[in-house]
Amino acid sequence: MRAAAACVMILMMLTSCSFTSDDGEHEKGVYPDMILYGASYTLGQSGENPIFIDSAEMALYSKDSRAVVEDISFVSYDDEGNIALEGSAEHGEIDTEEKTMDLSGSVRLSHRDGNMMIEADTLFFDSGSEEIEADGHVHVSSDDGVFTGTGFKGDLREEAYSFNTIEQGVFEI
């Protein structure tokens, strides 16, 4: 009886299980390091004008230098303490190293210079270069007029903006 039990135990130790995908590699899950609710985050460093972010939920992935946020609002101030930029979106993916935000779902971005308001379904914002891109449908209003179109690109520092196509627009002189 003891010999049979010993054989069973040795057999169990020599047998192992693993789960593999169809290509034979082990599957690995990607999980956040931390999930925060009602979170605030500062995107930037001292000496810069950082962007202060509030979100209903924030998942941080430190290995990828990435944060995934839900119901986001953000604001940035100029050197005098006035609001320079503010906005909101339903969802966002933030590259915390490159300081970029990929926003989606009822995106609104307001820039103080030129009294500009940008509304889009999706928008990419590079806070370092202050450049924005919105591939889909975009509505822009400013002191210069009101425009609706697709394929919007903008440089907030240089105040240079373009559309791939303009569906409607009024330019005010």
Q: Read off the pLDDT of residues 17-76 as tens digits, 9 standing for 90 and up.
A: 444 445 555 556 678 999 999 999 998 876 678 999 999 999 999 999 999 999 999 999
User: How much is the pTM?
Assistant: 0.78
Q: Using one digit for the tens of pLDDT, what is the confidence trace for 88-127?
A: 999 999 999 999 999 999 999 999 877 899 999 999 999 9
**Burial readout 56-91 (b: 16 or more C-beta within 10 A, e: otherwise):** eebbbbeeeebbbbbebebbbbeeeeeebbbbbbeb
Q: Is the pLDDT of residue 164 over 70?
A: yes
